[in-house]
Amino acid sequence: MLTIKNLEACIEDKAILKGIHLNIKPGEVHAIMGPNGSGKSTLANILAGREEYQITAGSMHYQNVDLAPLTPDERAHLGLFLSFQYPVEIPGVSNLYLLKSALNAKRKHMGLEEIDAIDFLTVVREKMKLLHMDDSYLYRDVNSGFSGGEKKRNEILQLLLLEPSLCILDETDSGLDIDALRIVAEGINLMRNEKRSILLITHYQRLLDYIKPDVVHILSDGKIVAEGDYQLATVLEAEGYEPFLQKKAGD
């Protein structure tokens, strides 16, 4: 279970997160929605261990382990996975090599041997089939020259392969066409089980129609200003953020 208490963080003296509380139990799907610049990606990055942010107050625990002292790779080995809003390009490194290195890093951490090359191809092709990806993805450089949607699909491929227990998806739906959104969402739904926690960051209700969240949070200016069930997303879709922001100004 993920427990975030009163988390405050800044970058270069600019406060971005201003006291976040969040609990995600095993098996739950939570969604975070909120205006541009409200701090959604910052929260995701801080959970994953990005160093450029300073945490000024509060705490984050996953499976009762304090995340703060852990490096990003140690957090990954705890089972935390971040699907990036803007996946980076790594020229000259093939996607195949990245996928295999990531899987082997995980296996090594679990005390398992490196996966056999043939077994690996079998596993990865199975996952690619779920996402309607063809073999050419394996031999292209990581995200290099990928379209926006292809990059997102590639993130989900990594997620399916690594089978993390805490999945943070930062605007995975942005950039996906209508069919791709459905395919990717189906892939994610396959991952849903009673042990796995999922945190969806999104601007659109459409994704939540496919992946029904247990809780929806609205983040504004570094704080969670409203919480509710799936219905909250519908309200948001109809009325926009304005009512929630006013409510915040009023309290």
Partner 1 sequence: MTRPNETLETLLQQDYEHGFVTDIDTDTLPPGLNEDTIRAISAKKNEPEFMLAWRLKAYEYWRHLKEPHWAHLKYDPIDYQALSYYSAPKLKEGPKNLDEVDPKLIETYNKLGIPLKEQEWLAGVAVDAVFDSISVATTFKDKLNEMGIIFCSFSDAVQNHPDLVQQYLGSVVPHTDNFFASLNAAVFSDGSFVYIPPGVRCPMELSTYFRINARSTGQFERTLIIADKGSYVSYLEGCTAPQRDENQLHAAVVELVALDNAQIKYSTVQNWYPGDENGVGGIYNFVTKRAECRGHHSKISWTQVETGSAITWKYPSVVLKGDYSVGEFYSVALTNHHQQADTGTKMIHSGQHTKSTIIAKGISAGFAQNTYRGLVKVLAHADGAHNYTRCDSLLMGQHCGAHTFPYIESKNSRARIEHEASTSKISEDQLFYLAQRGIDTENAVSMIVNGFCKEVMKTLPMEFAVEARKLLGLSLEGSIG
Q: Are 10 and 20 in contact (CB under 8 A)?
A: no
Tell me the one-letter amino acid at 193: N
Name which of 127, 159, 133 is nearest 146 in CA terms. 133
Among 6, 23, 37, 108, binds ligand ATP (CB under 6 A): 37
Q: Which of residues 162-201 bind partner 1 (CB under 8 A)?
A: 162
How far apart (Å, rounded) are the C-alpha atoms in residues 241 and 225? 10
Q: Which does 197 bind (CB under 5 to 8 A by kind): Mg ion, ligand ATP, partner 1, none?
A: none
CB hemisphere CA count around 154 (13 angstroms): 28
How far apart (Å, rounded) are the C-alpha atoms in residues 164 and 166? 6
Contacts with 200 (C-beta within 8 Å, 6 or more apart), sequence order = 29, 30, 31, 32, 169, 172, 207, 208, 211, 213
Least Å distance, CB 53 to ligand ATP, is: 8
Least Å distance, CB 77 to partner 1, is: 6
Least Å distance, CB 172 to Mg ion, is: 11
Contact between 77 and partner 1 by CB under 8 A: the answer reads yes
Contact between 38 and ligand ATP by CB under 6 A: the answer reads yes
Among 41, 143, 172, 205, binds Mg ion (CB under 5 A): 41
Tokens standing for residue 45: 């990055």
Among 23, 56, 73, 114, binds partner 1 (CB under 8 A): 73
Contact between 109 and partner 1 by CB under 8 A: the answer reads yes
Least Å distance, CB 248 to partner 1, is: 31
CB hemisphere CA count around 214 (13 angstroms): 13
DSSP letter assigned to residue 186: H
Instruction: Classify 24 as helix, strand or coil.
Output: strand
Nearer of residues 158 and 205 to partner 1, judged by Cβ: 158
Contact between 49 and partner 1 by CB under 8 A: the answer reads yes
Least Å distance, CB 232 to partner 1, is: 29
How far apart (Å, rounded) are the C-alpha atoms in residues 246 and 172? 28
> Judging by DSSP bridges, how do beta strands 2-11 and 14-24 pair with one another?
antiparallel
Among 16, 29, 188, 218, binds ligand ATP (CB under 6 A): 16
Point out which span in 54-62, 97-105, 126-134, 181-189 binds partner 1 (CB under 8 A): 97-105
Among 13, 88, 136, 238, binds partner 1 (CB under 8 A): 88
* Residues engaged in binding Mg ion (CB under 5 A): 40-41, 85
